[in-house]
Homo-oligomer: A and B are copies of this chain.
Amino acid sequence: MYSAPVEDISHALRHVAGLQEAMDQGETGELSPDLLEAILAEAARFAEERIAPLSASGDREGTRLEGGKVTTPKGWRELYREWIDGGWNSLTGPEAHGGQGLPMSLAVAAAEMWNSASMSFAIGPTLTTGAVEALESHGSDELKQRYLEKLVSGEWMGTMNLTEPQAGSDLSALKTRAEPVGDGTYRIFGQKIYITYGEHDFTDNIVHLVLARLPDAPAGVKGISLFLVPKMLVEADGSLGRRNDVICAGLEHKLGLHGSPTCTMIYGDGSAEGEAPGAIGWLIGEENRGLACMFTMMNNARLLVGIQGVGIAEAATQKALRFAHERRQGRSTRLARDNSEAGGAMTPIAEHPDVTRMLLTMKALTAACRAIAYACGHAGDRAKATAGDPTASKAWAERASLLTPVAKAFSTDIGVEVASLGVQVHGGMGYVEETGAAQLLRDARIAPIYEGTNGIQAIDLVTRKIGLSEGAAFENYMLELRAVVETVETKNDPSFGQTAEMLDHALSDLSSATAFLRNALDKGDMETALAGATPYLRLFGLTAGGVYLAKSALAADPEGQRTALARFMAENLLAETNALCAQVRQGAASLAAARIAIGLEA
C-alpha cells in the first residue's frame, strides 16, 4: 500500500537540497531534469510494486539458519536479483567499474523509497555501498580489479564487520586478530556480532570487510586494520574457488528487521577442512589505519541510516493518513451543525483535532528530516562536483560533514517518533501486527542505535562538526538558513502566519546554544559539551527542518499545502527550541548535581 511521494521527493531534491541549481550549473554530468524524473518514477514503481508487497511476509517469515546457511524470506532472493538487474545497486558506483556515477543525493532519494517499502530488504545493499567506497578509496588495484565490479553491480554483496561482544561503541577494545602469512595475505581469527546480512542466499559470494588487530599493533584504535575477507575465495580469473574459513554461527532474535539476517560471524574456527586455520584476508589501506578507512565511508553510511528513518516516517505517515481518512468514529465538533450525539454520520477520525495534530506532526517531521538528509547528500555531491575549486569543494564537504550526524540522528529519532504516532493513530488496530503500523515501529527502533548511536552522533556534531574551519562551516549554514527566513519575512504572506517569527526564535536559540558549546570547548570543558549534545542535536534538526519546510513552500506551492505544513511546524513544533537551548545550557551542572540519584559518585 506504499505510494512513493515522487512529487515531494523531487521537489525536496531540486528546490530544497539544491539539485536544481547544480543541474542548472551543469554540475551533475548526465543527470538532466528529465532523467532525474524518469529515474525517480522508475524507482517509485519498483518500490511500490516489487518491494512493498514482500515486506509484511518477510517480517512474518523472518530468516532461518541451518548448517551455516541462511535462508531469506520467500521471494526475496528473486527480488534482489530483479533489483540489481534494474541497475539500482550501481547508481552511484564508479563508472570505471561499471557504476553509473550518478549523484549520491539521487541514490538517497531512491533509498528512501526502498526503506519505505521494506527497511529489512533495503539495508543489505547499504552495506554493499560502504564496501564499494572503502575498496575504491583504499583498496589495492588488484583487490579493486578482483572485487569492485561485482560489488558495484550487486552480483556480490558486501558487509561491515566491526562489533564484537566487548567492543561496540568503543572499537578500541576489539580483539579479532590478523596474522600475516608472508605472501601478502593474512589469517583472521575472531568473532564478530550484529553483522547485517553477514550470511544470506542473495548472492554466490559475500565480501566481508573486517576490522582486526595485527600481532604487533598498538593498543586502542590506532592498532586496528581493515581486511577484505571473501566468503568464497576468488581465483585470478574471477571465478569462485573454495570456501573461506568464515561461518555464520547464529542469528539474532530482534525486535524488528526480521527479514534482515543479523549474524554472529566466526572467522578462523577451522571450518575449511584440510587447510591451515584462519580466514584468508587481504589488507585494505595501510596497517593500523583501519579506522581511517572506515571513516571514509562513515558519512555516507550514516546518511543512509538516516534515510531509513525518513523512509519509515514516510511509510508510517501514509499509513496513518489513509487510515484516519477512512476510519469513522465520533462526530467532529467542527463539521457537525447538529452536534447531538446520535445525529449525523460519524466523521473520519482525521477530523478530530487531536488526530489532526498527530497527522500534521508526522507529516511535518517527515518532510523536515527528508530535507535535511537530501541536503546532506547533495552537499557531498557538490564537494565532488566542485573538486576543481578547492575552496568551494571544502565548503561543500564541510557542509556534508556538519549535516551528517543530524541527518543520521535526527531522522532516526523522528523515524521512531513518527512510527509510534502511527500506531497511536490506528488505535487498537495499531497494536495488532496485521495492520503493519507496529512493524514500522519495530523496524524503526534499531536506527537510532546502529552506525554510531544517536548519542555518539550528537557528540560528533558538537565536538567535531560545529567547530569545522573555526566555526565557519556552521556560520555559513546559518547564513543560508537566515536568508530563507528573511525571504519569508519579506514576502509577508499572511498564510505563513507566525512562521518567520518562530523560525527567527529557533535560529537564535540554535545560535546561542552553539556559541555556548563552542565556548565550553574552547575552555576545554568537555563535560559541558557532552552533557548538552543530545538536546543540541535535536535543536539543530528541528530548526534546520523548520527552515527547510519554509524553503520548500517558497520554491513552489500551487495548492498551499507546503506553506500550511511549514507554518504548522514553525508555530507548533518549534516551540520546543527554547527548552532545548535551556537544556544545553543547564546540562552539565544539572547532570553533575544529579549523579547520586542513579548511584554514581557525587
Contacts and interface: CB of A to CB of B under 8 A. Distances in A.
A591 B356 contact: yes
Given A170-B346, A449-B431, A571-B586, A597 B455 contact: no
29 contacts: A169-B349, A169-B427, A170-B330, A173-B329, A220-B341, A252-B432, A255-B441, A255-B442, A333-B526, A352-B455, A353-B527, A353-B533, A353-B591, A354-B455, A356-B531, A357-B534, A358-B455, A423-B445, A423-B449, A497-B590, A564-B595, A564-B597, A565-B597, A568-B594, A571-B586, A572-B583, A572-B587, A578-B578, A578-B579
A202 interface: no
A159 to B, nearest CB: 15
B254 A431 contact: yes
Contact of A431 (B170, B255, B359): B255
Contacts of A219: 342
A588 B333 CA distance: 12
A328 to B, nearest CB: 8
B597 A454 contact: no
B428 A163 contact: yes
A221 B341 CA distance: 8
A369 to B, nearest CB: 16
Given A572-B583, A579-B575, A360 B598 contact: yes
Nearest to A335: B601
Nearest to A429: B168
A424 B449 contact: yes
A357 B564 contact: no
Q: Closest 10 interchain pairs by CB?
A: A220-B342, A354-B455, A568-B594, A575-B579, A170-B329, A255-B438, A353-B531, A353-B530, A564-B597, A565-B597
A497 B591 contact: no
A334 interface: yes
A597 B427 contact: no
Contacts of A256: 431
A449 B255 CA distance: 20
Contacts of A430: 449
Given A342-B220, A453-B424, A600-B356, A433 B329 contact: no
Contacts of A455: 352, 354-355, 358, 424
A559 B423 CA distance: 41
Q: Is the interface of A mostly helix, strand, loop or mixed?
A: helix
A239 interface: no
A599 interface: yes
A172 interface: yes
A582 interface: yes
A218 interface: yes
A559 B598 CA distance: 12
A363 B438 contact: no
B424 A446 contact: no
A329 B165 CA distance: 11
B333 A527 contact: yes
A458 interface: yes
A595 B356 contact: yes
Given A170-B346, A564-B594, A575 B586 contact: yes
A255 to B, nearest CB: 4
A412 to B, nearest CB: 11
A544 interface: no
Nearest to A453: B427
Nearest to A356: B591
B330 A433 contact: no
Interface string A534-561: 1000000000000000000000000111
